[in-house]
Chain A
Amino acid sequence: MTALLEAEGLVKHFPAERSWLGRPTSFVKAVDGVSFSVARGETLAIVGESGCGKSTLSRLVLRLIEPDAGKLRFEGRDLRALGPAELRAFRRDAQIIFQDPYASLNPRMTVGQILTEPLALHGLVPSENRRARVEELLRLVGLPPRVARRYPHEFSGGQRQRIAIARALAVEPKLVICDEPVSALDVSIRSQILNLLRDLQARLGLAYIFVSHDLAVVKHIADRVAVMNLGRIVESAETKALFAAPRHPYSRALLSAIPVPRPQAKRSRILLQGELPSALNPPAGCRFHPRCPFVVDRCRTENPELVADSTGHATACHHTAELPPGDALIASDGELSPTLEKLIAAFNRPEVLLPSGVGTLGAAP
């Protein structure tokens, strides 16, 4: 089976300083040789700390930023060879949801206009049917159709994120890039949006690239996870395998740092010393070596390749095999008491997703 999206050796360096002739003299190596693939209907999470290049990567995939080098294929087509018209057609297949629902919706447009624009742009739905389509989209994301006449400022953060999701889905994409879609939301609202994203995926067969720094959320939503550090993927694996036993020292530190809602949680936390090195001048060799508790000489000079084992669990580390087992690193949440389970279940009413014809509209003109 061919992957929906394949990236090979993606590189993006931003000029940081220029000489007086305008020639760049130093670069921020935001993304530096990243390869991954996403299958249809699958969720790939990209995790890492601020400045690791995860947001740049998500924009490279859509060609919102042009990569400096590397290959990008979507359904086997070379994305970097697309002309402007073809690129626009491709954007029908791949959409993005941004972090801040306060900044990503135009305050001067009504919700109806926001949702109609992509339809008109791609010539998808004849204008007389657009109103009906907008209502369907709103129902799909759990909003009442009458809100189409209102403006973004009249909505709460969670509702705005629903509108942003509806806008992304308006063109019936195959791939949706979610760049920190729930980070700006409160806990109880966050769970609503996460449930919605999962329901929509099951229903519409969407693939997600889910960019996040919140590992508990990633564990909840992703099928596979790629861990990024300073522009490179250091580990990539099935979510279950990664959370059961992270291999790369950076993944170990990251996963062991998750605070869990259990007061007596036992943990063997790896505290990273020092600060995140700058992508402007990344360290030689393995980019994690200045903070790595297991550093050896070889790490300082030689860059480790991302190598997969027979199960597809890939790690970029010179001596993963010699490290202590990583299975007891993540603190245990513990079991909830049966009473508490039952009380929580009372909140677990399935979201009222009214029947909507998005499936039938798949045959748009």
Chain B
Amino acid sequence: MSEPPLIEIEGLRVLFHGDDGRTTHAVDSIDLSVARGATIGIVGESGSGKSVTSLAIMGLLPKQTSDVSGSVRFDGFDLISASDQTLRDLRGNRLAMIFQEPMTSLNPSFTIGDQIIETILRHRGGTPAQARQRAIELLRRVHIPSPDKRIDDYPHKLSGGMRQRVMIAMALSCDPKLLIADEPTTALDVTLQAQILDLMRELKAESGAAIILITHDLGVVAEVCDEVAVMYAGEIVERTDVDALFASPQHPYTVGLLGSIPRLDRPSERLATIEGMVPNMANPPVGCRFSARCPFVIEPCVTAPPSLVELSAGHWSRCIRAPLERLVS
């Protein structure tokens, strides 16, 4: 691997300052790099910091209440220290994002065509007629039927699946090098989810863009990702390629997550449960943040924070009891 990664995140940290003077550690020292054309999944539950990570990368967190530090190097820029002007040039252009809610992320008072064309004109210039032609082409690429008519529709006329396709078309309008998809299929039915995942795979093969896919659904991760980072309470607790994650997870939290999914192949028995709750991030525990819910907890887990250790090539775990095999052999 001589080629430098497309995006390299080092020591990313996000603090939120609340009205009551308390500080919440939403994201704590994230290190992550994504190679060109790779798809990496960030998995975690509500409050794990996965969406905040993506917003921090895009520079979309409100400056008044949040404190972002660390470095995010993307394509020769440092996104954390970049000016608003630079960020505006990058966003929607080389750096694109799809959000979870296609209902709220499109502007209801403009046609979908207007919204796609606006992006193209802002970043690529050209005449409005050329931009419109390209917009129709994009809608066709995301399999919207009769795109030359649909382009003049307002968002309310489209179903949820169609709106998400429009969002994808808009994100792809300037051939981004990195696409951040935050729960792109969570609001959709399973048959539509299958269509959208299929579309994302197809577009990735065509365009060669790298994708950061943020999700809570391990099934979706298994289908589209090459690599996975599991987040818990603002930290990456495990990082590896997708096969290793499902075959031999090395963090107890990942094990618990895998055990709590109902499986199709086996008779339904009791599901594993992770007792307790995510720690309060205004006052994170001193030791391992998962220790209060972990069945393998021992004394040193509670007293000192574990670091992310490479157990085997490319497989990282933030657990002092790893490799976990030895706990049950």
* Residue in chain B with minimal CB distance to A188: B274
Of A31-39, A119-127, A332-340, the one with at least 4 CB within 8 A of chain B: A332-340
Contact between A261 and B275 (Cβ–Cβ < 8 Å)?
A: no
Contact between B296 and A243 (Cβ–Cβ < 8 Å)?
A: no
A194 interface residue per 8 A CB criterion: yes
B126 interface residue per 8 A CB criterion: no
Q: Given that A195-B273, A213-B190, A263-B243 are known contacts, is A346 also in contact with B295, CB under 8 Å in the complex?
A: yes
Residue in contact with A187 in the complex, picked from B243, B261, B327, CB distance below 8 Å? B261
Interface size class of B (residues with CB under 8 A): 35 or more
Q: How far is the CB of B327 from chain A (nearest CB, A)?
A: 7
Q: How far is the CB of A246 from chain B (nearest CB, A)?
A: 12
A2 interface residue per 8 A CB criterion: no
Of A14-22, A79-87, A166-174, A269-277, the one with at least 4 CB within 8 A of chain B: A269-277
Bound CA–CA A271/B197 (angstroms): 11
Residue in contact with B161 in the complex, picked from A188, A257, A275, CB distance below 8 Å? A275
Q: Mark out the residues of chain A between 209 and 223 whose CB falls within 8 Å of any chain B CB in the assembled complex.
A: 213, 215-217, 219-221
Q: Write out the residue numbers on chain A whose beta carbons fall within 8 Å of the beta carbon of B328.
A: 339, 342-343, 346
Of B62-70, B84-92, B249-257, B303-311, the one with at least 4 CB within 8 A of chain A: B249-257
A264 interface residue per 8 A CB criterion: yes
A330 interface residue per 8 A CB criterion: yes
Bound CA–CA A275/B146 (angstroms): 13
B21 interface residue per 8 A CB criterion: no
Contact between A257 and B194 (Cβ–Cβ < 8 Å)?
A: yes
Contact between B272 and A334 (Cβ–Cβ < 8 Å)?
A: no
How does the 8 Å CB contact mask read for B174-210 relative to A, with 1 for contact and 0 for none?
0000000000000001111111011000000000000
Q: Given that A337-B247, A339-B248 are known contacts, is A347 also in contact with B274, CB under 8 Å in the complex?
A: yes
How does the 8 Å CB contact mask read for B248-278 relative to A, with 1 for contact and 0 for none?
1100100111111111111010111111010
Q: Write out the residue numbers on chain B whose beta carbons fall within 8 Å of the beta carbon of A261.
A: 218-219, 221-222, 246, 258, 261, 263
B15 interface residue per 8 A CB criterion: no
A49 interface residue per 8 A CB criterion: yes
* Residue in chain B with minimal CB distance to A50: B189
Q: Given that A188-B257, A269-B194 are known contacts, is A343 also in contact with B275, CB under 8 Å in the complex?
A: no
How does the 8 Å CB contact mask read for A248-285 relative to B, with 1 for contact and 0 for none?
00000110111111111100010110111000000000
Q: Mark out the residues of chain B between 215 and 234 whose CB falls within 8 Å of any chain A CB in the assembled complex.
A: 216-223
Residue in contact with B268 in the complex, picked from A220, A337, A351, CB distance below 8 Å? A220
Residue in contact with B264 in the complex, picked from A186, A257, A333, A349, CB distance below 8 Å? A333
A348 interface residue per 8 A CB criterion: yes
Q: How far is the CB of A131 from chain B (nearest CB, A)?
A: 27
Residue in contact with A257 in the complex, picked from B191, B216, B296, CB distance below 8 Å? B191
Q: Write out the residue numbers on chain B whose beta carbons fall within 8 Å of the beta carbon of A213.
A: 189-190
Q: Which of B248, B249, B259 has the most CB of A within 10 A?
A: B259
Contact between A259 and B191 (Cβ–Cβ < 8 Å)?
A: no
Q: Given that A272-B195, A275-B162 are known contacts, is A258 also in contact with B190, CB under 8 Å in the complex?
A: yes
Contact between B219 and A253 (Cβ–Cβ < 8 Å)?
A: no
Residue in contact with B272 in the complex, picked from A263, A271, A347, CB distance below 8 Å? A347
B324 interface residue per 8 A CB criterion: yes
Q: Given that A339-B328, A346-B295 are known contacts, is A265 also in contact with B259, CB under 8 Å in the complex?
A: no
B135 interface residue per 8 A CB criterion: no
Residues of A at under 8 Å CB distance from B?
49-50, 156-157, 186-192, 194-195, 198, 213, 215-217, 219-221, 243, 253-254, 256-265, 269, 271-272, 274-276, 330-337, 339-340, 342-351
Can you report 24 A-B residue pairs in the complex whose CB atoms are below 8 A from each other?
A49-B191, A156-B277, A157-B46, A188-B274, A195-B271, A195-B273, A198-B270, A216-B261, A219-B264, A219-B268, A220-B271, A258-B264, A261-B219, A262-B222, A265-B223, A271-B194, A274-B145, A276-B159, A339-B325, A343-B327, A344-B256, A344-B258, A346-B255, A347-B256
